[in-house]
Copies of this chain bind each other. A is one copy, B any other.
Amino acid sequence: MRRNFLVLALAMAISHVACGADNNTTGHTSPEPPPEVSSKQADSMKTRLASQSSDQVDKLGPSSNALPPVPTLEDLRMVAPALARYTEGTLLGDLWKRPELSPRDRSIITVAALITRNQTIEMPYHFNLALDNGVKPSELSEIITHLAFYSGWANATSAVAVAKDVFSKRGIGSDQLPPASGEHLPIDEAAEAQRAARVEQDVGPVAPGLVQYTSDLLFHDLWLRPALAPRDRSLVTVSALIASGQVAQITYHLNRAMDNGLTKAQASEMLTQLAFYAGWPKAFSAIPVVKDVFEKRPK
Contact = CB atoms under 8 A, between A and B. Distances in A.
A63 B59 CA distance: 10
A80 B156 contact: yes
A229 interface: no
Contacts of A280: 149-150, 214, 218
Interface stretch (A23-31, A39-47, A128-136, A268-276): A268-276
B100 A283 contact: no
Interface in A33-90: 57-71, 75-87, 90
A27 B186 CA distance: 51
Interface in A109-155: 113-114, 117-119, 121-122, 141-142, 144-145, 148-155
**Copies of this polypeptide in the complex:** 3
A119 to B, nearest CB: 4
A209 B58 contact: no
Given A119-B154, A153-B277, A279-B150, A249 B164 contact: no
- Main DSSP-derived SS at the A contact region: helix
A287 B244 CA distance: 17
A88 B293 CA distance: 38
Interface stretch (A171-179, A189-197, A255-263): A171-179
Contact of A64 (B69, B87, B278, B281): B69
Contacts of A180: 77, 81-82, 84-85
A83 B288 CA distance: 34
A284 B213 CA distance: 13
A286 to B, nearest CB: 9
